[in-house]
């Protein structure tokens, strides 16, 4: 069967215009009739987002029955992290947080879910890697070790904001250090295949970096992968279709 996936850093619902509107974001993504949506930077009941549960709003608006959330940090009286939304039953989920070399550095994470797609079990990983290179390497090494320790194999899909080459400049400003390879990316490619997709996805308008990715295990056939040219966040969504 065909299986459609979208990964999207939703920037806590900010539509790249300072207006928080999760309904608009979900309406636009719903046009692509996906089976699985991986969201990063989701607010749950924060004061910044008017104490709304953005996962619930998103899921209700697109009509998905199943979801899970992994909090990376407590934030403004609520939580902030990654979410997985699925048309098919989520059997289990677990959240893994990054290690930090300094207390002041923001924690990121990786949310893992096992999904039953008409009797076929798929392990899905939604990750938002840190903006610091050492932490990115630590987290990807932890992902690989966790998968080996728990004997996770079979059909697998990984997506998210990998922040490859991102350098923090302070005050929520960032730059990119381009390289032919990144250690954190090489770590992930030990298990997941990386499609030939280098279209830049961040920031919207004038993107300079291809940091939003969808990867897969070798036993899944990729049909199509593309950037969705909709400006509803500071990241463009990425869409992939597989045969599973």
**pLDDT of res. 100:** 66
CATH of the domain at 64: 3.60.10.10
**pLDDT of res. 60:** 96
**pLDDT of res. 150:** 87
* 28: containing domain: 2-243
**pLDDT of res. 39:** 98
**pLDDT of res. 107:** 81
DSSP secondary structure letters along 23-53: HHHHHHHHTT--SEEEEEEEEES-TTTTT-B
**pLDDT of res. 54:** 97
- Residues of the chain where predicted confidence (pLDDT) is lower than 70: 99-104
Number of domains into which the chain is organized: 1
**pLDDT of res. 101:** 61
**pLDDT of res. 171:** 83
pTM: 0.96
Which helix or strand (DSSP H or E) is residue 142 part of? helix 133-149
């Amino acid at each position: 069967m065909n299986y459609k996936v979208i990964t999207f850093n939703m920037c806590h619902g900010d539509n790249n215009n300072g207006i928080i509107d999760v309904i608009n974001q979900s309406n636009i993504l719903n046009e692509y009739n996906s089976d699985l949506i991986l969201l990063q930077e989701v607010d749950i009941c924060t004061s910044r987002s008017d104490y709304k549960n953005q996962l619930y709003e998103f899921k209700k608006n697109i009509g998905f029955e199943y979801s899970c959330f992994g909090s990376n940090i407590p934030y403004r009286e609520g939580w902030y992290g990654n979410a997985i939304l699925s048309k098919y039953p989520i059997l289990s989920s677990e959240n893994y947080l990054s290690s930090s070399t300094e207390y002041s550095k923001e924690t990121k994470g990786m949310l893992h879910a096992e999904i039953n797609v008409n009797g076929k079990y798929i392990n899905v990983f939604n990750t938002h890697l840190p903006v610091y290179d050492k932490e990115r390497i630590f987290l990807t090494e932890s992902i690989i070790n966790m998968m080996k320790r728990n004997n996770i194999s079979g059909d697998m899909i990984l997506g998210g904001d990998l922040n490859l080459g991102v350098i923090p400049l302070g005050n929520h400003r960032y730059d990119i250090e381009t390289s032919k390879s990144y250690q954190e990316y090489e770590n992930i490619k030990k298990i997941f295949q990386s499609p030939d997709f280098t279209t830049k996805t961040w920031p919207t308008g004038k993107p300079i970096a291809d940091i939003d990715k969808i990867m897969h295990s070798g036993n899944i056939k990729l049909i199509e992968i593309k950037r969705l040219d909709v400006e509803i966040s500071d990241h463009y969504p990425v869409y992939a279709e597989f045969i599973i």
